[in-house]
Amino acid sequence: METKPIVTCHGDQSLFSGLHAATLHGLPKEACEWRRSYGRAPRTIHLEASFVPYDADILPDETTKTLVSRPYFHIYWTDCDLESYKQTVREDIAEWHSALKEANIPDWLIVVVINDESKIKSKLLPRSSVIDKVRNDFCSKQADRCIVLSEPMKTDQKTAESWYSFFQRLRQLLLQAFNHHLDKYEDKMRSLREKRNEPGWNYFDYFIFQEELAFMFEMLGLFEDALIQYDELDALFTQFVENHASGDVAEWLTSTIQSCKSWAGLSLYKPIDWLKRDMIKLNKVSLLEFRNYLFSRHSALLFLMNKSWIVAQRAMDFLYNTAQEIHSLEIDIPQGALSCWMFMSCLEVLRACETLPQTTQLDRYSLYTATLRDYARTKLKDLGYLCGLMPGSKPTSEQLSHVVDLSAGMGLDTGEETEAGQVHPRDRLREALSSESSFKKHYLEMCELTMGTYKHISRFRSARILGRDMADFYMKIGEPQKAEGFLLDAIKMYQQENWGNLADGTMLDLAQCLLSMNEVDKYFKTACHIACSCCLKLNDRKEYFKEVLRLASENEGNMYQMRASTVFTLEEANINNSSVILHDDFIVDLTVKSNFPEQVVCNQIEISIIKAGDLGTSPFKRRTHVRNPSLTFKNHEHIPNFRPITKQLPTHIDAHSTYERRNGKVVSCAIGCANAHDLLKRCDSGPVESEIVLKGDYSLCMSVANVTLNPGCNDIQLRVKTEDKGVYRLSQICYKIKQSEFLKSLANCDLHFEVVCNEPYVELKPSKQDNFLAGIQQDAILALHTGSYNIPDGSVITIEFNGNVTILTESGDNSIRIGGIASRQTVEYKLSLYQETKQQVKQTTDVKMSCKVDCWDKIMTCNLSFHHPFQVTHKLHTAKEKKYLQIVVCGNVESEFYLVRPELSCLNCLDLELIPYNKLTQQWRVSFDQSATFLWMIKPNISDLPNLDMCFNFKYTSTLDVSGEQRLFSYICQLEHFQTQYQLSYTVTSDDKTCTTSTPATLTIHVQKAITCSRTDHRLVYQVSVDGTTWALAGKSTGVFNVSEREYETKIDVLPLQSGLLHMPFVNIHQYIDSTDNQTEVWVRKPSDSDTSDVNKPVKDVTRFAPFNTGEVYNNSQCQQVHIYPSLGSLDSELIVIPL
């Protein structure tokens, strides 16, 4: 508002004109505080005024309603001196003053300007100055109604002070004037308002009245107060409308709510639309027009306050509420007119906001302008539908005339409503509605703008919804390519945010779009998605399912390939046997979930198999794979500026306790998380799985054909025959429906299996007993395991042994003719084995059997062991010069053998007689726990027998022997140097009849040459060995002697140390060896004086001897004992005192 409060100036006009500029500029320089009544907050205000010359006619009276244009204040300027004051000025002032008084105006001020201080000061007598006079005359009661302004032209300190106090006074009085008037006005207004429910009250009159106040505030620069007035008016009106709508009719409203003939949009160009205001005064305004006006006033004030974004903010509410009011008041308005109005108003607001200088609140703008644009867009769309301007529909004549009607009511172009170069919203709308093409152009333009704004303020979801709308439009105008992009964006976002319903709902649109673009491949994929979506209606799904089948069968020569994850999911894969024998079937059990709404027949389901590298020693961990839903494919492409909430950390983390120990004691403990670092890492989008999936290598695969998959889980089994050894893993699964394939990689399932090749082998087992026995013919069974190989018909197995084993097969030799045998078979053959018995030291003999099948290169070996049934030993016994040979046959095995006809013969000498002591015709039974003993006496016919080779043989049978023969067993032994050469006897005697301890006794050794002695060298050595505790030897323990004559005797002193029956010291004789002979050393006793010490000390001595063979020396006194009596009073006896 350009107007300022009017202040009239009377008096010396020329004076005033000089001071006019200064006063005009000086007044608003400083702000003053204006305190209002009713506890309102004080306002800081810069007062301005426009100074006009005084005219008695323009003095307002009580009834004047205007606030703005009335003169508020009256100043009388004079700089006269006392003389002229008395003469002319006083009367002038009096006239002026009385006029003011008559008009009841208390707001005036007399300013006495003193131009020259010096004039006054020079007077000697302090006469009353002009100001005193004035004061006396006019301001007796109010001293502040006159003021002195001294030397206003100068620029010194005093002048400045004077000006300052002048202005202060002026401001103060002005405010008083305002208060006075405004209070009165407000009171009036209030009382007017109170009457609002009385009949005859007219809101619009009241409106004008209160608006005046708003104007006043606006003039004063108190925009907030002005705004408050309008808000109050707004609320009041709204209340009336509400009441009216609910039945409480207000008379004055009736003309407002008549049929609406004009729906011109908002106009914010001019701050005050005076024309409109006049119409309001006359109550000739429609609801729309009134609302337009009110909002425009609001906006004007907000623009002045530099809060233009609030205009944008309030605009939406304004539009909605007005629409609401129109609706509730049931105002008759042509269809579409309201939309026009809204469209134009939106654009007007946008235009107004944009024309203002860009401030820092640009962001806040965008927030509201985006919604405004969007709203305008939707309104335009509605109009498009209404007027048949949407693509694809031709406007009927009705619609065309409707457009004309709408256009007519849009208001007239006054030419003052826009700045140069800008298109008025009305024109824009007219243009848009003029034809289909221009509609399209405008509509798309609006859409793009809105989308841009939404993205700018990061309202992506709104942008996506708008995109969907635009896609719809593009489809209509036949540009589905553009629509596709929008739809895909929307789907991606919905999927990222997990709004399945919306994503799939949009997919329906996408499907239509792709179909019209004839992008069959993508359409197919989309149709699959839709058919498998759990969020859509069953009818839609079934429809698209039919489409899928149709496309799959129509696709000639081509193959649709896509990921299986939406259509078929592999819930579980089970390998029961991960180690398969070659040529066996490898089986995998699958549970496949079909998401199709109906049954579908898969022409083929295949799994490709790839030979994996050597897994090393780690066993196969996974035999079952269960689907983990989070691993299914999801597109996580990064949309700039759009940050969906990051995934939370997993609910279960690997917490564990840790301990810190010092000196074995726990000093502190903690709970930590092992992979904390990984979990806390920023989870930026990792490597994105590529959308494209290729069919792998199916050269090696397992498949099953014509499987019917029902919706839900299905169990399928696939099998394949293994052909080659190795480790394999399952690589990819492919579901084939007619000409479409759904692929899924199984790489992360980690399913492996191994094909092993079983080698053939043979086993030989005795049929009736546990072990093979040598010496009998027994039945055996040869088991041939073919492993993974086949044996053709007519093959021959040849069996060989490395030991002395005879084998008898059914064909009579060591080969078996076999028929064709398949792999993994075991066939048994009968044969019999015989191994000769020999005298062995060991109880068992190990034999290796090797079988060779003539068609194979391989030789199969098998180890056997034969147990010997007998263990034969011999022993020579001597009695003086007679010799006996004892042969013991021990059984080795549990089975019983029967011995008959034992025979002993000497092989190399016939000069003896072998006299058996057994009854030779009986049968001996020999087994594990029973042995047979045979004794013969060897009776020589000559005195000197050579070394004898004896042969003992017998015949044996066994029930185990298949042949039932009596078999021969021979045992050969040698007897060397066995004839008795000497006879040895010795005694211990004492001089007394008895021997007592500690009494020396005599050991008499007597050696006699035997008859059968054949030695020539009769030099012998005797050796006495004593146990140091029983006997003490006093004499030589060894001695050499010669028995050339028949006998030899020697005596040695011995001392018995113990009493009782003691064995005599052991005496033995040996051969004497010359020291020159190269004989091995033998331990000898030192031939020194006997003493009890060092008796057993082995010493190398000259005396050497060699022992005799068994049987060559017959010891008559062996094991004889002698009774030693304890000596009386011997210290050796122990006295044991037993206390009673």
DSSP 1100: -
Note whether 367 binds another protein by CB under 8 A: yes
Q: If 0-12 CB within 10 Å is exposed, 13-18 middle and 19+ buried, where does residue 381 land?
A: buried
Residue 12: helix, strand or coil by DSSP? coil
Give yes or no for residue 341 binding another protein (CB under 8 A): no
Instruction: Choose the binding region for another protein from 105-113, 153-161, 650-658, 925-933 (rule: CB under 8 A).
Output: 650-658
Min dist CB 308 to another protein, Å, is 19
* 665 touches another protein (CB under 8 A): yes
Least distance from C-beta 364 to another protein, angstroms? 10
The residue type at 858: K
Using CA atoms, how far apart are residues 831 and 809, in angstroms rounded to an integer? 4
Site for another protein in 684-743 (CB under 8 A): none
Strands 71-78 and 6-11: parallel
Minimum distance, C-beta of residue 433 to another protein, in the bound complex (Å): 20
Residue 383 one-letter amino acid:
L
- Single residue of 667, 841, 1102, 1131 touching another protein by CB under 8 A: 667
List the interface residues with another protein, window 452-511 (CB under 8 A). Answer: 457-462, 465, 494, 497-499, 501-502, 505
Q: Which residues of 793-814 are buried (b: 16+ CB within 10 A; e: fewer)?
A: eebebebebeeebebbbeeeeb
Please say whether the beta carbons of 699 and 687 come within 8 A.
no
For 829-845, the three-class secondary structure string (H helix, E strand, C coil) is EEEEEEECCCCCCCCEE
- Nearest residue (CB) to another protein, 461 versus 719: 461
What's the CA gap between 481 and 504, in Å, rounded?
A: 19
Alpha helix locations (H) across 8-89? 13-26, 82-84
Q: Is 913 in the site for another protein (CB under 8 A)?
A: no
Binding of another protein by 647 (CB under 8 A): yes
- Beta-carbon contacts of 807 under 8 Å, excluding residues fewer than 6 positions away, are 799, 801, 814, 831, 832, 833, 834
Which residues between 398 and 457 bind another protein (CB under 8 A)? 457
Beta pairing partners, 112: 78, 148
Member of 648, 690, 1016, 1078 binding another protein (CB under 8 A) = 648
Element (H, E) at 1044: none
Among 628, 668, 1075, 1076, contact with another protein (rule: CB under 8 A):
668
Tokens standing for residue 966: 């009596």
Q: Are 94 and 86 in contact (CB under 8 A)?
A: no
360, 657, 1075, 1080: which one contacts another protein (CB under 8 A)?
657
Identify which of 1103, 991, 1122, 1108 has the alpha carbon closest to the alpha carbon of residue 1059.
1122
- In terms of CB distance, is 245 or 716 closer to another protein? 245
- For another protein, which is the closer residue by CB, 38 or 659? 659
371 binds another protein (CB under 8 A): yes
Q: How far is CA 173 from CA 34, 132, 221, in A?
A: 11, 20, 18
In a 10 Å sphere around its CB, with 0-12 CB exposed, 13-18 middle and 19+ buried, how is residue 1064 labelled? buried
| Lookup: tokens for 794 | 């007519």
Are 73 and 60 a contacting pair, CB within 8 Å?
no
Residue 682 contacts another protein per CB under 8 A: yes
Contact 585, 546 (CB under 8 A): no
**Residue from 99, 245, 700, 1040 binding another protein (CB under 8 A):** 245
The DSSP element (H or E) to which 702 belongs, if any, is: strand 701-709
DSSP state for residue 1020 in the 8-state scheme: E
Mask: binding to another protein, 502-521, rule CB under 8 A, as x and -? x--x----------------
Query: Residue 382 or 598: which CB sits closer to another protein?
Result: 382
Nearer to another protein, 128 or 328 (CB): 328
Tokens 């209509």 correspond to what residue?
476
Q: How many CB atoms lie within 10 A of CB 584?
A: 18
For residue 979, the surrounding DSSP H or E stretch is none
Residues 255-294 that bind another protein (CB under 8 A): none
Q: How far is the CB of 246 from another protein (least distance, A)?
A: 7
| Region of 96-104, 252-260, 313-321, 414-422 interacting with another protein (CB under 8 A) | 313-321
Write the CB contacts of 754 (distance below 8 Å, at least 6 apart in sequence): 578, 579, 580, 620, 726, 727, 728
Q: Does 639 bind another protein (CB under 8 A)?
A: no
Residue number with CB closer to another protein (302 or 490): 490
| Shortest Cβ 540–another protein spacing (Å) | 12
Q: What would the DSSP string read from start to end of 883-907? A: EEEEEEEEE-SSS-EEEEEEEEEES
- According to CB under 8 A, which one of 106, 644, 1000, 1060 is a site residue for another protein? 644
Q: Give the residue with the Cβ less far from another protein, 92 or 497.
A: 497
679 is a site residue for another protein (CB under 8 A): yes
Beta strand pairing status for 146-150 and 726-737? unpaired
**Residue 140 to residues 84, 203, 986: CA-CA distances in angstroms?**
21, 46, 184
Separation between Cα atoms, residue 288 and residue 409, nearest integer Å? 12
327 vs 830, which CB is nearer to another protein? 327
Residue 630 in the binding site for another protein (CB under 8 A): no
Of the candidate residues 631, 680, 688, 942, the single one contacting another protein (CB under 8 A): 680
Q: Mark the segment that binds another protein (CB under 8 A) among 314-322, 612-620, 883-891, 1114-1122.
A: 314-322
Interface mask toward another protein for 13-42; x: CB under 8 A: ------------------------------
- How many chain residues interact with another protein (CB under 8 A)? 53
Closer of 497 and 754 to another protein (Cβ): 497
Binding flag, residue 942, another protein (CB under 8 A): no
Nearer to another protein, 116 or 234 (CB): 234
Based on the shown chain and the rule CB under 8 A, indicate whether residue 673 belongs to the binding site for another protein: yes
Using the 8-state DSSP alphabet, how is residue 493 labeled? H
The reply on whether position 652 binds another protein by CB under 8 A is yes
Give yes or no for residue 655 binding another protein (CB under 8 A). Answer: yes
Token pair 């605009």: residue: 315
DSSP 1009: E
Question: What is the rounded distance in angstroms from the CA atom of residue 779 to the CA atom of residue 809?
Answer: 10
In the complex with another protein, which residue's Cβ is closer, 651 or 1076? 651
Binding of residue 249 to another protein (CB under 8 A): no
Among residues 157, 640, 659, 1061, which is the contact residue for another protein, using CB under 8 A? 659
Give dist(CA 642, CA 644) in Å, integer.
Answer: 6
* CB closer to another protein out of 644 and 1098: 644
- Residue positions counted in the chain: 1140
Kindly give the interhelix angle for 425-434 and 397-408, rounded to the nearest 10 degrees: 170
- Min CB(668)–another protein separation in Å: 4
| Interaction of residue 951 with another protein, rule CB under 8 A | no
Distance separating the N- and C-terminal Cα atoms of the chain? 149
Q: Which CB atom, from 13 or from 658, has the smaller least distance to another protein? A: 658
Distance, C-alpha 456 to centroid of its chain: 34
Question: What are φ and ψ of residue 483, in 5° steps?
Answer: -65, -35
Which of the ranges 296-304, 655-663, 921-929, 1067-1075 carries the binding residues for another protein, by CB under 8 A? 655-663
**In the complex with another protein, which residue's Cβ is closer, 667 or 1140?**
667
| Per-residue x/- track, 203-242, another protein (CB under 8 A) | ---------------------------------------x
Q: Between 153 and 673, whose beta carbon lies closer to another protein?
A: 673
In the complex with another protein, which residue's Cβ is closer, 67 or 338? 338
316 binds another protein (CB under 8 A): yes
Q: Are strands 982-989 and 967-975 parallel, antiparallel or unpaired?
A: unpaired
Contact footprint for another protein (CB under 8 A): 242, 245-246, 316-317, 320, 323-324, 367, 371, 457-462, 465, 494, 497-499, 501-502, 505, 644-649, 651-659, 665-673, 676, 679-682
